[in-house]
């Protein structure tokens, strides 16, 4: 009886809405660590040290057939930010290590049949110096990365804006 009570408390059975009881998708590194669960508005994803955040989001979009989404996140990571150079139409990259993402926001859409992410963030170092901008790459550092993905019913595509060469979200 004590074991059953413990499992009920630990698992939260009866306290979760039916839609949240779907089977979580497990990590490739361990079957004991789910990477994401469904929520009433989309997904909650928790990534761990060494995970490639952009790759995990792209795989989620494909696996779950997400038409489009908005997302927010926070956690410890090694980001590469890019600053858009309108003249060269390229990003100038700058990488950082051992930072804490104070804020991450973005969207998921599609381009040429593949997920197309657009993410921006602000990271701080141990001296509380902040860096931010467009995210080109993202790896989870120590700790974890928590992402809330809010899905939208419309499939949205990214298109190249002929005026400036930037890829933009089409509505």
Q: How far apart are CA 2 and CA 56, in angstroms?
A: 38
Q: How far apart are CA 27 and CA 35, in angstroms?
A: 5
Residue 25, phi then psi, degrees to nearest 5: -85, 130
Q: What is the pLDDT along the chain (171 residues), one digit of tens a residue?
A: 444 333 333 333 333 333 344 455 554 444 456 799 999 999 999 999 999 999 999 999 999 999 999 999 999 889 999 998 888 888 999 999 989 999 999 999 999 999 999 999 999 999 999 999 999 999 998 889 999 999 999 999 999 988 887 888 988
Q: How far apart are CA 33 and CA 28, in angstroms?
A: 9
Residue 166, phi then psi, degrees to nearest 5: -85, 150
pLDDT digits over 59-84, tens only?
999 999 999 999 999 998 899 999 98
Q: Which domains does the chain have, with CATH numbers?
A: 33-170 (3.30.1330.80)
Residue 145 burial by Cβ neighbours in a 10 Å radius (0-12, 13-18, 19+): buried
Closest CA to 82 of 131, 33, 148, 141: 131
Q: How far apart are CA 3 and CA 5, in angstroms?
A: 5
What pLDDT does 85 receive?
87
């Amino acid at each position: 009886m004590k074991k059953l009570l413990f499992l009920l408390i630990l698992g939260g059975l009866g306290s979760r809405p039916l839609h949240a009881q779907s089977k979580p998708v497990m990590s490739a590194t361990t079957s004991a660590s789910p990477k994401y669960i469904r929520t009433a508005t989309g997904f909650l994803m928790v990534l761990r040290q060494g995970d490639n955040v952009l790759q995990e989001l792209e795989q989620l979009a494909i696996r779950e057939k997400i038409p489009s989404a908005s997302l927010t996140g926070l956690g410890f990571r090694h980001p590469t930010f890019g600053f858009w150079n309108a003249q060269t139409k390229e990003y100038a990259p700058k990488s950082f290590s051992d930072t804490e993402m104070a804020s991450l926001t973005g969207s998921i859409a599609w381009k040429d049949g593949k997920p197309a992410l657009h993410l921006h963030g602000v990271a701080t170092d141990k001296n509380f110096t902040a860096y931010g901008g467009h995210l080109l790459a993202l790896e989870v550092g120590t700790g974890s990365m928590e992402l809330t993905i809010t899905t939208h019913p419309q499939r949205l595509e990214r298109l190249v804006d002929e005026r400036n060469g930037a890829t933009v979200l089409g509505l």
